Structure 1
Amino acid sequence: MVVKTLGKEDLWCGVVGGAALATGGGGAAMPREFFDARVDPLIEKGVKFQIVEPQDIPEDELIFVRLGVGGGIERRMQERCLRRFGVADWIREMDRVFPLPKWAEIPDEEWARVAPYRRLVELKGREPFGFMPFEIGPNVAFEIIRAAMLGKPLIDADNAGYRAVPEVSLGTLNVIHAPITPYVVATSYGDLMVFEKFLSWQRAEDLVRHIAITSGGGCSGMVSFDEDFIKKGTIYGTVSLAMKVGKAILDAREGGDDPVEAILETTGGYRLFEGKVGGTTREGYGAFTWGNIWIKGTGEYAGHTMRIWYKNENQISWIDEEPYVTCPDPFTVVDKKTGLGLSNFRPDHWPVGREVTVWGMKCADLWRTERGLRIYNPKHFGFDIKYVPIEEKVE
């Protein structure tokens, strides 16, 4: 078994490259100062950041996957559970209206992150060999960090395929019929739940999403998979790809080269559109963030407009209102000058006039199977649009 130990700059490359792959979701690339403040103390303590290729997972081992959900919610639900107020402080506010019983336990800020792990270990009767990211985005670096803090490696693979996805059900492990129970869910208010049985992955999504809605817009969770499911139903090398893309972007910036071209060369992707942000809409409800992005074409795209519809992540695009690239193929908007992957969760990323490039790549092969396309396609989101592979659209 080959275990690769990563350095601090590898992790930072994961943040930058993860943002460029994230299709507008999967978190937002943090400032370098925040990253340094989080990572430097761990390095001083001797924490080792490691990744392992899926094929090297020993037989009969368990892999844990963090599976929280979240997004925007309506104002009245925000006011019921104001997460940003601080957990303990907001519980005291809740107590004024909905008095707590004597047995209530007020959790600390970290409880919801660690409780699912501890309970899943109890349920499975053993520790996992390691962890795997559910999807790829700028948060992939924190997946490595969280695993390392528990002395575990991160598996160099994911369950979404070169992208982030908005729903629990949109995973390649669903394509191969992997079971999703037990599913341990925790909220920042001290609630802990174990789902023992679901009808389907979609029912898991719907039920856990409603916990998020009633918990301020988000909840944390964790599931486990046997190593054979990880080996058969995930996309290999995606964590390494995020780091390679990040390094290519950073090298291009330093060398005065085109960071977008560096992304395309590293991924084998396609330049889909270039222009300036013309306007955006954004709405939070149902523990998702929804909206549209309009980009006015420049250069060879002058006179044309691209529109992108997103549900947390980018799903459907049009050029001059004709359907263009759609899910499951991933496409991301990046800053034309820096290659920064723009986040749909960050309104400040979308000032009118910002010069951007839209790039995309082929989705994972599992998504193009008969079952994969039944699970993830434009009709899943209510659009009567036939999926056409990205390479056919750009020819």
Structure 2
Amino acid sequence: PQEVRDKVKSYYSAFPETKDSRVRRLQMSVRELSEYVGKNFYAYIASETGGGNGILPMYLNALEGKPSINADCCGRAKPEMGISLTNVAGIPVTPLVMVSPFMETIILKTSVDDYRAEDIARNVAVACGGSVTVARCPTKVDDYRRGVAVNQVTRCIKIGEVIRRAKETGKDPEEAFLEVSGALKVFEGVVSSFECEGKGGFNWGNWFVKGTGSYEGHGMRVWYKNEHLIGWIDGEPRITCPDLICIVDAEEFEGLSNFVESGVHNGRSVKIYGIKASDLWRTPRGVEIFGPRHFGFDIDYRLFEH
């Protein structure tokens, strides 16, 4: 982001909000937003590091000959549009454009706040079978410099690279991951129960893990809303959003998805890690937006590494 020219006056964010990753809809959403605001976009930046939402803006930048920005608007994956560093920075979410799978276009000119915009977009997505493409947060480059997680793209590439190379050379992928990511192991065990329920356009549920090895005799629960958000060990909060909770298969050292049926992960050996969130998330405003109380839990955020 530091390499983007200061004289550029129209630097915008656009991203696909849901799992339908058809490029044609993304192109339509950014084109409609561009026409509405009367500006040509300098580049598109990802709303989050997660699935198509992290890749498609870069793909669209390449198609249009625009630069790809080494940053995203969250520093991790997240379940809601309002959970964004753009919100922390006070960058307006509107105007935004939604495009349905039927190529219908909806322009939301204003909203009370990011949460109201999320509710509207989510309900449109549910009405469209669970999918809608969104382009949002048009603003200037200086605004984005205070509302993104910098170097996020290369960070993710590096983590994936060291894990892959460790596997290829017979080294320990866990050791490589810990060294590069700065993660801390918080638990290890066998999944005794995995629950998943689709409701309101989200996947909700819990992981219950019975400790093994040095964690034998203990248990961990991880609650998720699309993403892993809160973890308890023996009933006591151990790690919460906005910090990351990563659950990987202990044998393959591959991340495990919540977008599967209940019971799929039962009996699987797993390792659970915590990774520090972006510094912006650890501010009072960041915790207000993405802390455990946002999800209705009477839990104060605390630094898990302490």
TM-score by length of 1: 0.72
Q: Is the 8 A contact 2:191 2:267 kept in 1?
A: yes
User: In 2, distance between residues paired with 1:222 and 1:349?
Assistant: 35
Partner of 2:66: 152
Partner of 1:339: 253
How many aligned residue pairs are there? 301
The code of the aligned residue for 1:186 comes to V
Partner of 1:245: 159
Partner of 1:261: 175
Alignment of 1:118-267 (within 5 A): 118-139=31-52, 140-161=54-75, 163-223=76-136, 224-267=138-181
User: In 2, distance between residues paired with 1:358 and 1:201?
Assistant: 31
Matched residue SS, 2:297: coil
Matched residue SS, 1:390: coil
Post-superposition Cα deviations, 1:99-151, rounded to whole Å, max 9, x if no partner, equal xxxxxxxxxx7543322022112123343222211111243344432321222
Partner of 1:75: none
Post-superposition Cα deviations, 1:318-376, rounded to whole Å, max 9, x if no partner, equal 11222110011111101223321111113499432222111111111111212111111
Query: How much has 1:166 moved relative to structure 2?
Result: 0.3
Larger-gyration structure (1/2): 1
Query: How much has 1:218 moved relative to structure 2?
Result: 2.0
Post-superposition Cα deviations, 1:252-297, rounded to whole Å, max 9, x if no partner, equal 1111122122111101110111112222111111111111111121
Matched residue SS, 1:351: coil
Post-superposition Cα deviations, 1:231-268, rounded to whole Å, max 9, x if no partner, equal 11111001100000000110111111221221111011
Partner of 2:194: 280
The code of the aligned residue for 2:163 comes to I
Alignment of 1:1-395 (within 5 A): 54-59=1-6, 60-69=9-18, 111-139=24-52, 140-161=54-75, 163-223=76-136, 224-347=138-261, 350-392=264-306
Q: Which runs of 5+ in 2 are unaligned?
A: none
Percent same amino acid at aligned positions? 38
Q: In proportion to residue count, which structure has more helix? A: 1
Q: Is the 8 A contact 2:186 2:272 kept in 1?
A: yes
Quick one: higher RCO (CA 8 Å, sep 6+), 1 or 2? 1
Structure-2 change in CA distance of 1:61 and 1:113 (3 Å): closer
User: In 2, distance between residues paired with 1:378 and 1:391?
Assistant: 17
The code of the aligned residue for 2:5 comes to P
Q: Which runs of 5+ in 1 are unaligned?
A: 1-53, 71-82, 84-108
Q: Is the 8 A contact 1:259 1:339 kept in 2?
A: yes
Q: Is the 8 A contact 1:111 1:188 kept in 2?
A: no
Please report the RMSD computed on the Cα atoms of aligned residues, expressed in angstroms: 1.9
